[in-house]
Chains A and B, each alone.
Chain A
Amino acid sequence: AQSVTQPDIHITVSEGASLELRCNYSYGATPYLFWYVQSPGQGLQLLLKYFSGDTLVQGIKGFEAEFKRSQSSFNLRKPSVHWSDAAEYFCAVGKAAGNKLTFGGGTRVLVKP
């Protein structure tokens, strides 16, 4: 069975500083990997996805993520955070495009002025 672990429940970062959110997955085959963001009272929005090819993927809002098969990781990064990046971030894994996803528990990001 597939599973996703996000080790950090909360992260506080200063505005303008860099951000890295960790994600480790467990899946027997080549995974389809996703990062979603959820702002308070809003639905989940896709930031980026990885299916194959280049292991460094670019997403919206200046985010990027790197797939490392050897470490079963798909960490999300942003070089310089903005106050509007305060939200909850979820990593997810699926076995095919359009298939059901398994989500991690999420990481809540707080941005200090």
Chain B
Amino acid sequence: GAGVSQSPRYKVAKRGQDVALRCDPISGHVSLFWYQQALGQGPEFLTYFQNEAQLDKSGLPSDRFFAERPEGSVSTLKIQRTQQEDSAVYLCASPSYKTSGGATGELFFGEGSRLTVL
């Protein structure tokens, strides 16, 4: 696609419920990032994929958070047994690349999935 697409845009979950958030990155982009943005704060890194390989998951806050990208394109962030502190906007991003190869440094972000846990 032309941009990074995320769904659902809004999700309300009851505490303890499992949720799945989807990211469809820019077509052909091998790298994909997930960020978490709590209300009134800057985005914080969660995890990074290169193709289907999860190369960095150091930002995942607990073992309730799990991300996958099985075919190297669409990625899913899953949160099990949601807690109120999980309420945030979850952003997906992929880097732009020069036509000659190599990243330009810009991350293209999706509009995010806003999760509210009651």
Report A's interface with B, CB cutoff 8 A. Answer: 4, 6, 32, 34, 36, 41-46, 49, 51, 90, 92, 94, 96-106
Once the chains bind, are A43 and B105 in contact (CB under 8 Å)? no
Task: Determine which of B45, B91, B104, B106 lies in contact with A102 in the assembled complex, contact meaning CB atoms within 8 Å.
Answer: B45
Q: List 17 A-B contacts (CB under 8 A).
A: A4-B42, A41-B111, A43-B4, A43-B109, A44-B93, A44-B107, A49-B106, A92-B42, A97-B95, A97-B102, A98-B103, A98-B105, A100-B33, A101-B43, A103-B42, A103-B43, A106-B42
Q: How long is the Cα–Cα vector from A45 to B107 in the complex, in angstroms?
A: 9
Question: Chain B contact residues: over half helix, strand or loop, or mixed?
Answer: strand
Once the chains bind, are A43 and B112 in contact (CB under 8 Å)? yes
Interface contact tally, CB-CB below 8 A: 62
Task: Determine which of B44, B105, B111 lies in contact with A94 in the assembled complex, contact meaning CB atoms within 8 Å.
Answer: B105
Interface size on B, residues (CB 8 A): 25
Task: Determine which of B33, B91, B102 lies in contact with A43 in the assembled complex, contact meaning CB atoms within 8 Å.
Answer: B91
Residues from chain A with Cβ under 8 Å of B43 in the complex: 44, 90, 101, 103
How distant is B96 from chain A, measured CB to nearest CB, in Å? Answer: 8
Residues from chain A with Cβ under 8 Å of B107 in the complex: 44, 46, 98, 101
How distant is B32 from chain A, measured CB to nearest CB, in Å? Answer: 11
